[in-house]
Amino acid sequence: MKSDRELINSEGRRLDGRSPHDLRKIKIEAGVLHRADGSCSLEWGGNKVLVAVYGPREAVPRHVQNPLKAIVQARYNMAAFSVEDRKRPGPDRRSVEISKVISEALEKVVLIEQFPRASIDVNIEVLDAEAGTRCAGLTAAGVALVDAGIPLRDIPVACAAGKIGGRVVLDLGKEEDNYGDADLPIAISPRTGEVLLLQMDGHLTIDEFNEAFDLAMKGCYEVSEIQKKAILQKYQSAAAEVQE
């Protein structure tokens, strides 16, 4: 275990030079795949995520259909080459859990009542993993759902805060996640502030929890602006192509 001093120094500088309230660098591009109904590629620090959305389409097998609303089926997958030691390919407990919590979060913002018996499939492929992949995947899924033209109440967005060296900080990197004290990923609907996902790893006091929660919320609003820019850019270049 690394000492706290190595994760954050007395001036509040982190290993990668960030201050406690800084996000890692984020780059989002909408509409990157031709065969998907909607897609998004997202880089968040050292994370690289590709999301493809299909639907609404008839849910199969039929017994999973809901006659009153659509189901949202997110499938989170980490590529074998996405981590330092090759990950065993295929689903594991962690990816099943992440797929479930992301599906439940997305169901809260999609207008599922409009599509009885349908399925909206959200494939999340993690190509490079460096901590925070569930937030990166959910954030990219929000953009890909918009790109697919699926009616939404809002564009869901996610970000984590955590604790390292006794301090609450935004958006943990790999070393911080491995050797830090706590990680608190959240997803929200930015328009209403509704919490769509909240998980916690490690230990926080109530005061630290409140501080980390507020910081993660602020992070979500920052990421939300980057999402909106990526969507605008996609539609501006599509409009320019039509004009030409």
Which residues from 41-80 bind ligand ADP, rule CB under 6 A? none
Q: Is 131 in the site for ligand ADP (CB under 6 A)?
A: yes
C-beta separation of 72 from 107 below 8 A: yes
Q: Is 24 in the site for ligand ADP (CB under 6 A)?
A: no
Q: Is 132 in the site for ligand ADP (CB under 6 A)?
A: yes
- Taking the C-alpha atoms of residue 170 and residue 147, their distance in angstroms, rounded to an integer, is 28
Please give the DSSP secondary-structure letter assigned to residue 64. Answer: G
Stretch that binds ligand ADP, among 24-32, 37-45, 108-116, 128-136 (CB under 6 A): 128-136
- Taking the C-alpha atoms of residue 196 and residue 220, their distance in angstroms, rounded to an integer, is 12
Closer residue to ligand ADP (CB): 132 or 190: 132
> Tokens 């409140």 map to which residue?
210
Q: Is 162 in the site for ligand ADP (CB under 6 A)?
A: no
Q: Is 100 in the site for ligand ADP (CB under 6 A)?
A: no
Q: Is 184 in the site for ligand ADP (CB under 6 A)?
A: no
- Taking the C-alpha atoms of residue 137 and residue 189, their distance in angstroms, rounded to an integer, is 15
Q: Is 87 in the site for ligand ADP (CB under 6 A)?
A: yes
Cα–Cα nearest to 127, from 75, 52, 178, 77: 77
C-beta separation of 37 from 30 below 8 A: no
Cα–Cα nearest to 110, from 173, 153, 156: 153
Q: Is 105 in the site for ligand ADP (CB under 6 A)?
A: no
Cα–Cα nearest to 185, from 122, 132, 107: 132
Q: Is 130 in the site for ligand ADP (CB under 6 A)?
A: yes
Q: Is 139 in the site for ligand ADP (CB under 6 A)?
A: no
Closer residue to ligand ADP (CB): 79 or 152: 79
Q: Site for ligand ADP (CB under 6 A): how many residues?
A: 12
Closer residue to ligand ADP (CB): 112 or 126: 126
Helix (H) or strand (E) holding 202: strand 201-202
Which residues would be at the binding site for ligand ADP (CB under 6 A)? 83, 85, 87, 94, 129-134, 174, 177
